Amino acid sequence: MARAAVDAGARLGSVRTVTGESTVPAPALRVLAASLLARAPQGMAPLALILLVQERTSSLTAAGLASGAWGLGVAVGQPLWARPAARGRAGIVIAATAALQAGVLVLVAWLPWSAPAAGIALAGLGGLLGAPITSVARTLWPELAPRPKALDRLFTLDATSQEVIWIAGPALVGLLLAVSGTTAAVVGTAAVGGLGGVWFARTIAPVWQPHPAPDGPTGFARKLVAPWLALAIAALGLGLTEVAVPAAAILDGRRDAAAWLLAVWSVGSLAGGLLAARFPSTTDPALRVPGYLALLAAGSGLTAAIWSAGLGWLAAALFVTGLGLAPTLAALYGVVSRLVPASRRTQAYAVGTTFALAGIAVGSALGGVLSEQAPTGAFGAAGVASAVAAAGWWAWVQRTRSTRPSSHTGSPAS
């Protein structure tokens, strides 16, 4: 996995030919490359936990609850750790939480799971110890790429390159599963996350400065409640899909296929992000989000309709579904960067991550229940969630435009 992240960093260096010559500064690329390995557990842990718990308990419901507990723990922990990180101790916070999380994952791997509730609680603790890698990295982007066009492309590159995690992560889980079983998959996740956290902490040391939030009201939070809720609802659909895909593979008698199916989903997202970077839109990011979410909804509906025709058809539908994922995240975080002052960005991104991960956690728990017999309901519910998120976002944009003073020139929908 370390080689995969280094190779990803090398590919990121060549992305300048796609995004524009010398648009993204080299320090930003170094931080981005380190963050990929540090964020690897995001792509590995959910699948590894689902497969481990389903094997130990023979229950997709328990597997979904374990994955959901992990996601909920991460959702709670992100703003918790982001505050001391913003005050200037990011390196210490990230290194410590990454090491502790690795230790908890090893315990989860060796737990007999005769009492699923204890294992689910331990999975939640592991998630709680997730380092605030994403919020710290995205706080650095406006400082490492101060030009507006460069910043917009860096956010797109961030969202797109993160798909390396969701491609290499499940692939590595599948490899470990084939070679040594589910225990090795979870222990491998622990090792990668621990090493990645230390590397990221060392990489940001020369460029990280304290970003303490000033005292006083946080007016930006009121501006972002609606976008955060839309993000959470869309993320619920992602959580449903994360469990429905392994369920489909298990029901087909090919447990190991879950890894490459999730990787195909991420390849679709990577392709969508690269297209967005290659052909940047001049439309305000806030106006792009509903269209991307509609694409996610259509893809999920297609997946629900054809998954039973075979895993090949399921893979094709997942690729289509993934096309809108990275562009959605890039546009959304671009909106946040325009609405939030620099002193509040770490906190804002952490809260946004909390909303997203809470949605994924709830979706994972529901996905286990809905997929116990067949994943059709989970795929369909994912499409409904994306459609509701698109409608909610569009309503927020229209309401904001109708109440904004005419002299205002920022997002959304400027």
Q: Is 409 within a domain?
A: no
Task: Look up tokens 């994912």; give the residue.
Answer: 382
Task: Look up tokens 């080299």; give the residue.
Answer: 26
Mean pLDDT of the chain: 82
Phi, psi angle pair for 131, to nearest 5°: -70, 145
Q: Is 346 within a domain?
A: yes
The predicted pLDDT at position 244 comes to 94
Among 117, 83, 369, 350, residue whose Cα is nearest residue 243: 369
Q: Is 410 within a domain?
A: no
Q: Looking at 243-247, 326-330, 360-364, which range is the least confident one?
A: 326-330
Does residue 408 have a pLDDT over 90? no
Q: Is 413 within a domain?
A: no
Which amino acid appears at position 45 of this protein? A
Which range has the top average pLDDT, 83-87, 200-204, 219-223?
A: 200-204
Does residue 8 have a pLDDT over 50? no
pTM: 0.73
- Measured CA distances, 387 to 132, 255, 317 (Å): 29, 30, 17
Reported as a single tens digit per residue, the pLDDT across 134-178 is: 878 888 888 887 777 777 777 777 876 676 777 788 888 988 988
Q: Is 414 within a domain?
A: no
Does residue 9 have a pLDDT over 60? no
- Residue 5 binned pLDDT confidence (cut-offs 50, 70, 90): very low
407 by DSSP, 3-state: which?
coil
| Cβ proximity of 127 and 71 under 8 Å | yes
Total domains in the fold of the chain? 1
Q: Is 230 within a domain?
A: yes
Q: Is 85 within a domain?
A: yes
The residue segments making up the domain with residue 351 are: 2-403
The predicted pLDDT at position 334 comes to 77
Q: Is 203 within a domain?
A: yes
Does residue 350 have a pLDDT over 60? yes
Percent of the chain with pLDDT over 90: 35
Reported as a single tens digit per residue, the pLDDT across 210-224 is: 766 554 445 566 778
What CATH number did the domain enclosing 376 receive?
Answer: 1.20.1250.20
Does residue 58 have a pLDDT over 80? yes
